[in-house]
């Protein structure tokens, strides 16, 4: 992202934000409510055009957007089917995909349940599974641990720590950030945006 600025109705949300995403980065975007974190994610994922600056994705580099993946889950589909017919899951033997789902704490019985009948934490883990199998080099998440049970948070932490690409996540969850982040991008009303390694 190069010198990105965004404003709504003439009100500047942020200006002049630049940062790179490199392989294996785990970037946490932090800052107070309303400071513009979700807006930055919308610009990063192309849901919104920035007022100034540019977002450039290197050729062949794709991203998976966890929140959108969750929103777009087919509630009538089963856990096993949804994951087996998606991305890298398509070519992998069913047994292997189901083993991967077991790692994400799905029981044998969960696999045949419809996604609509799952808890929020279980749905989040299906969305995460699809992000991991999407072939994307970057996984982008906006407050993924909100309302999640401890098991789902721990599963998510481990999966993101071991993901071979890069992770960009907005979060207010101190423990989650401490576990996964290697870089912080802090929105501060006084100081503007600062980047630091952690």
130 in Cβ contact with 97 (< 8 Å): no
14 to 33: interface string for ligand ATP, x by CB under 6 A: -----------------x-x
Task: Report residue 8 as tokens.
Answer: 């709504």
Give dist(CA 97, CA 84) in Å, integer: 6
Q: Cα separations (Å) of 119 from 113, 126, 130?
A: 11, 11, 17
Tell me, by CB under 5 A, how many residues bind Mg ion: 2
Closer to ligand ATP by Cβ: residue 60 or 189: 189
Q: Is 186 in the site for Mg ion (CB under 5 A)?
A: no
Nearest CB to ligand ATP, comparing residues 172 and 179: 172
**Quick one: which of 8, 46, 75, 108 contacts ligand ATP (CB under 6 A)?**
8
Contacted by 35, from Mg ion, ligand ATP, none: CB < 5 to 8 Å by type: ligand ATP
Residue 37 found at the interface with ligand ATP (CB under 6 A): yes
Assess 50 for contact with ligand ATP (CB under 6 A).
no
- Give the side-chain half-sphere CA count within 13 A for 180: 31
Of 53, 50, 66, nearest to 8 by C-alpha is: 50
Instruction: Supply 54's token pair.
Output: 């540019």
**Binding to Mg ion by residue 172, rule CB under 5 A?**
no
By CB under 5 A, name the one of 7, 38, 114, 182 that touches Mg ion. Answer: 38
| Closest to 42 in 3D by CA, of 65, 24, 74, 59 | 65
Which residues make up the interface to ligand ATP (CB under 6 A)? 8, 13, 31, 33-39
């Amino acid at each position: 992202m190069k010198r990105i600025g965004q404003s709504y109705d003439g009100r500047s949300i942020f200006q002049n934000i630049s940062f790179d995403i490199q392989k294996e980065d785990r970037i946490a975007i932090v800052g107070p409510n309303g400071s513009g974190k979700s807006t930055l994610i919308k610009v990063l994922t192309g849901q919104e055009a920035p007022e100034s600056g540019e977002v450039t994705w290197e050729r062949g580099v794709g991203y998976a957007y966890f929140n959108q993946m969750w929103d777009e889950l087919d509630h009538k589909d089963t856990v096993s089917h949804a994951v087996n017919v998606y991305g890298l899951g398509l070519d992998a033997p069913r047994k292997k995909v189901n083993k991967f789902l077991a790692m994400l704490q799905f029981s044998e019985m969960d696999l045949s349940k419809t996604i609509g009948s799952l808890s929020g934490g279980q749905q989040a883990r299906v969305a995460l599974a699809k992000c991991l199998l999407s072939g994307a080099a970057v996984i982008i998440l906006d407050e993924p641990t909100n309302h999640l049970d401890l098991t789902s948070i721990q599963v998510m932490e481990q999966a993101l720590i071991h993901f071979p690409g890069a992770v960009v996540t907005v979060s207010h969850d101190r423990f989650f950030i401490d576990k996964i982040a290697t870089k912080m991008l802090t929105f501060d009303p006084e100081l503007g945006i600062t980047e630091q390694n952690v």
